Structure formats: C-alpha cells, structure tokens
C-alpha cells in the first residue's frame, strides 16, 4: 500500500468525522446542546457547544494538514518511485535528441531590371 493510499484513507475518515460533528450542530443554537436537558451529560450545555466547536476546528486543521502531506507524498520528497504514470511517460519519451533539419539556402536569383 503506497503512502498516498494511506493518506487517502485517513482523509476519508477525517471527512466522515467532520461531517458527523457538523451535522450534530445546529446553526441556530438548537443542535445537540439544546436536546441535553441535564448537566450530567458532557459537563452541561455550554461544555457541549465548546466541545463541538473545538472538535470542528481540530478536525478541519487535521484535514488540511493531511491534504498537504498527501500532496507531498504524491509528488515531493516522500514520493513513491514505483509510479505507473512516471514509468509510462519515461517509456514513451525519446531517448536520443532529434537533430534539427538541415536547411539548404535558397538559390540566389538575379534581380530584374
């Protein structure tokens, strides 16, 4: 399994978690925090809102970091040397440089008087 595939799986998991956290929230303040009536659950309503807010920002930061690292692993110093695309382009590229065509000078014609 290549490095890029590992990053792709991690990005997918983080995206799923981010979707779940965002769907739990309600933009008008009535999401999960409004359905918890007692203070026994997760430290109360205010703590739930803080937790959801912090987890959203944390997951978004992790997602951006994983995307940047995956781009480095795809084309940068961490790249996989067994890439089929690179092998295909190297196989189709000409190995010897093509010499430019020799141009013959046009015959000089006498100027008409």
pLDDT digit string, tens, across residues 39-86: 445 455 567 778 888 999 999 999 999 999 888 876 544 445 566 666
pLDDT digit string, tens, across residues 16-41: 999 999 888 866 655 555 555 444 45
If one compares 9 and 26, the residue with the highest pLDDT of the two is 9
pLDDT at 4: 81
Flag whether 62 is in a domain: yes
* Contact present, 18 and 63 (Cβ < 8 Å): yes
Flag whether 61 is in a domain: yes
Flag whether 69 is in a domain: yes
Domain count, the chain: 1
Flag whether 1 is in a domain: no
Domain that holds residue 66: 46-73
Q: How far apart are CA 86 and CA 75, in angstroms?
A: 11
pTM equals 0.52
Flag whether 66 is in a domain: yes
Flag whether 79 is in a domain: no
């Amino acid at each position: 399994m290549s490095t890029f595939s590992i990053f792709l799986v991690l990005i997918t998991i983080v995206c799923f978690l981010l979707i779940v956290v965002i769907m739990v929230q309600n933009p008008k303040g009535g999401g999960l925090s409004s359905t918890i009536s007692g203070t026994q659950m997760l430290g109360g309503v205010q703590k739930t809102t803080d937790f959801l807010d912090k987890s959203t920002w944390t997951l978004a930061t992790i997602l951006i970091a994983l995307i940047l690292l995956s781009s480095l692993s795809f084309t940068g110093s961490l790249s996989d040397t067994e890439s089929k695309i690179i092998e295909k382009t190297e196989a189709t590229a000409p190995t010897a440089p093509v010499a430019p065509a020799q141009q013959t000078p046009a015959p000089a014609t006498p100027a008409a008087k």
